[in-house]
Structure 1
Amino acid sequence: MEMANLLVRGLDDALVQNLREQAAAHGRSVEAEHREILAQALFQPKKLSFAEWLMSMPDVGDDADFERRNDATDDSGGPGVFD
């Protein structure tokens, strides 16, 4: 498998210094640390927003399954919330 090269220009000196320090903390070269950061950022599964997560839920059950019961005196005839 052929590996591509990537040259990144115009990086802030502080960013490069932080990359060096992070690489050293992980026992890696700056290049290896850069590869790891890119892999983590680009190969992670996309995180769903809360709305997307809700929309992904299957449409099962009846609305009545989720009705709120206030107490034993309501019209449901069933037990109250804390019964």
Structure 2
Amino acid sequence: MANLLVRGVDDALVQSLREQAAAHGRSAEAEHREILARALSRPRKRSFAEALMSMPNVGEDADFERVNGLDEAPRVFG
């Protein structure tokens, strides 16, 4: 396993880490590992292109054609 050294961390942040670690019954180092693991193991967000490609094929292009020449908007809700 690799080692990680973090320099220049604010004292208040280190104190909060120690307090959170104590509340969870582990060392500050173990708490730090857990925080990193949780933060970095989240599923990555899909790109817009990936989201579009995942949409099912729900019809033909003609099903979604605009109707031109209407003088007013169609009544949708009655």
TM-score (norm 2): 0.65
Matches of 1:54 and 1:35, distance apart in 2? 32
State the match for 1:44 in structure 2.
Answer: 42
| One-letter amino acid of the structure 1 residue matched with residue 13 of structure 2 | L
Is 1:11 aligned to 2:9, yes or no?
A: yes
CA deviations on 1:4-24 (whole Å, 9 max, x unpaired) are: 111111110011011011111
Q: What is the letter of the counterpart of residue 55 of structure 1?
A: L
1:21 alignment partner, SS class = helix
How many aligned residue pairs are there?
66
User: Structure 2 regions of 5+ residues with no counterpart?
Assistant: 65-74
What's the C-alpha RMSD, in Å, of the aligned pairs?
Answer: 2.7
Gaps of 5+ in 1: 73-83
Distance 2:38 2:18 in 1: 17
**Are the structure 2 counterparts of residues 59 and 70 from structure 1 closer, same or farther at C-alpha, using a change threshold of 3 Å?**
same
Letter in 2 for 1:58: M
What are the equivalent positions in structure 2 for 1:24-43 lying under 5 Å apart?
Answer: 24-43=22-41
The percent identity for this pair of structures is 62
1:44 CA drift (Å): 1.5
